[in-house]
Amino acid sequence: MSATQELGTEQTVSSAPLGLPPLGADLITPLASGSSRQLLEPVAETIAADRNDHFRVETVLFDRASDQSSPHLSWPQSVQIFQLWQVYIDNVNPMTNILHVQTMQRMVLQATSCNPEELPKPSRALLSSVFLAAIESLSDEACLNLMMLPKDECVQNLFSMTKECLVDAKFLEVATTEALQALVLYLIAARQHSTPQSLWMMIGVAVRLAHRLGIHREKSLQGMTVFAAEMNRRLWWQLHLLNRHYVNLCEDVDSSDPAHILIFDTKRPLNLNEADLHPDMTTMPPEREGVTDMVFCSIRYEIGSFVRNLSLTAESQSRIEAIQQMEARLEEKYARHCDGSIPLQRVSRCLVRTTGYRLALRHCHSTYGDKENMSASDKSQAFDTALLLLQTQHSSCASQILDRYRWHTKLFYCFEALFPVLHTLAFQELDESTASEAWQQVSLAYHYNPELLDWDHKSFYSNYCRSLNSLVLRAWTRRASTAESVPNFVQQIQLQQNRPTRQNTAEGVNTNVQPSTQLNQHPNNQLPPSHQMTLGNPEVDGQTWEYWLNIFDNEELLGI
User: What was the pLDDT predicted at 50?
Assistant: 47
Q: How many CB atoms lie within 10 A of CB 440?
A: 13
Q: Are the CB atoms for 293 and 97 separated by under 8 Å?
A: yes
To the nearest whole percent, how much of the chain has pLDDT over 90?
Answer: 52
Residue 72 lies in a domain: yes
DSSP string, 247-259: HHH-TTS-TTSGG
Q: What is the mean pLDDT of residues 472-501?
A: 82
| Amino acid identity for residue 64 in this structure | R
Report the candidate in 109, 106, 100, 107 with the shortest Cα–Cα distance to residue 123. Answer: 107
Count the residues in the chain: 560
User: What was the pLDDT predicted at 558?
Assistant: 63
Residues 300 and 166 in one domain: no
Q: What is the mean pLDDT of residues 295-304?
A: 95
By CB neighbour count within 10 A (0-12 exposed, 13-18 middle, 19+ buried), where does 530 fall? exposed
Q: What is the mean pLDDT of residues 253-274?
A: 88
Residue 42 lies in a domain: no
Helix-helix angle 418-427:432-448, to 10 degrees: 140
Radius of gyration of the chain (CA): 25
> CA 84, CA 215: separation in Å to the nearest integer?
29
Q: Are the CB atoms for 422 and 547 separated by under 8 Å?
A: no
pTM: 0.81
Q: Out of 120, 154, 172, pick the residue that ends a domain.
A: 172
To the nearest whole percent, how much of the chain has pLDDT over 70?
Answer: 73
Q: What is the mean pLDDT of residues 492-512?
A: 55
Report the candidate in 407, 413, 430, 556 with the shortest Cα–Cα distance to residue 95. Answer: 407
Q: Are the CB atoms for 425 and 478 separated by under 8 Å?
A: yes
User: What was the pLDDT predicted at 362?
Assistant: 82
Q: Reduce the DSSP state of residue 336 to 3 states and report it.
A: helix
Residues 355 and 491 in one domain: yes
In this model, does residue 509 exceed pLDDT 80? no
Domain count, the chain: 2
Q: Are the CB atoms for 179 and 166 separated by under 8 Å?
A: yes
Q: Out of 140, 172, 204, pick the residue that ends a domain.
A: 172
Report pLDDT digits (tens) over 151-164.
999 999 999 999 99
- Contacts of residue 458, Cβ cutoff 8 Å, sequence gap at least 6: 451, 465
Q: Are the CB atoms for 334 and 290 separated by under 8 Å?
A: yes
Q: Are the CB atoms for 29 and 193 separated by under 8 Å?
A: yes
pLDDT band at 329 (very low <50, low <70, confident <90, very high): very high
pLDDT band at 545 (very low <50, low <70, confident <90, very high): confident
Question: Which carries the bigger pLDDT value, residue 309 or residue 330?
Answer: 330
What is the distance, to the nearest Å, from the Cα of residue 149 to the centroid of all Cα atoms in its chain? 26
Report pLDDT digits (tens) over 210-260.
999 999 999 999 999 999 999 999 999 999 999 998 888 877 777 777 788
Q: Which domain holds residue 68?
A: 52-172
Residue 266 lies in a domain: no
Phi and psi based region of residue 365 (left: phi greater than 0; alpha: psi -120 to 50; beta: remaining): beta
Residue 7 lies in a domain: no
User: What was the pLDDT predicted at 259?
Assistant: 80
Residue 201 lies in a domain: no
Report pLDDT digits (tens) over 389-402.
999 999 999 999 99
Residue 290 lies in a domain: no
Q: Out of 118, 152, 172, pick the residue that ends a domain.
A: 172
Residue 514 lies in a domain: yes
> CA 104, CA 99: separation in Å to the nearest integer?
7
Beta bridge partners of 11: 175
Q: How far is CA 560 from CA 147, 156, 296, 535, 556, in A?
A: 31, 27, 10, 36, 9
In this model, does residue 142 exceed pLDDT 90? yes
- Helical H runs in 250-397? 295-310, 316-333, 343-361, 376-397
Q: What is the mean pLDDT of residues 62-67?
A: 54
Residue 288 lies in a domain: no
In this model, does residue 287 exceed pLDDT 90? yes
What is the distance, to the nearest Å, from the Cα of residue 363 to the centroid of all Cα atoms in its chain? 23
User: What was the pLDDT predicted at 351?
Assistant: 95
Report pLDDT digits (tens) over 437-481.
999 999 999 999 988 887 654 455 677 888 888 899 999 988 877
Beta bridge partners of 13: none
In this model, does residue 297 exceed pLDDT 50? yes
Q: Are the CB atoms for 178 and 98 separated by under 8 Å?
A: no
User: What was the pLDDT predicted at 233?
Assistant: 98
Report pLDDT digits (tens) over 193-213.
888 888 999 999 999 999 999
- b/e map 484-502, b = 16+ CB within 10 Å: eebbebbebbbeeeebeee
Q: What is the mean pLDDT of residues 57-79?
A: 62
Question: Which carries the bigger pLDDT value, residue 529 or residue 77?
Answer: 77
Report pLDDT digits (tens) over 116-129.
999 999 999 999 99
Residues 335 and 481 in one domain: yes
Ranges 91-100, 371-380, 431-440: which has the least confidence: 371-380
| Amino acid identity for residue 550 in this structure | N
Residue 209, CB-side half-sphere exposure with 13 Å CA sphere = 27
The pLDDT mean for the chain works out to 79
| Amino acid identity for residue 55 in this structure | F
Beta bridge partners of 174: 12
In this model, does residue 49 exceed pLDDT 50? no
Q: How far is CA 517 from CA 92, 116, 299, 471, in A?
A: 52, 71, 47, 20
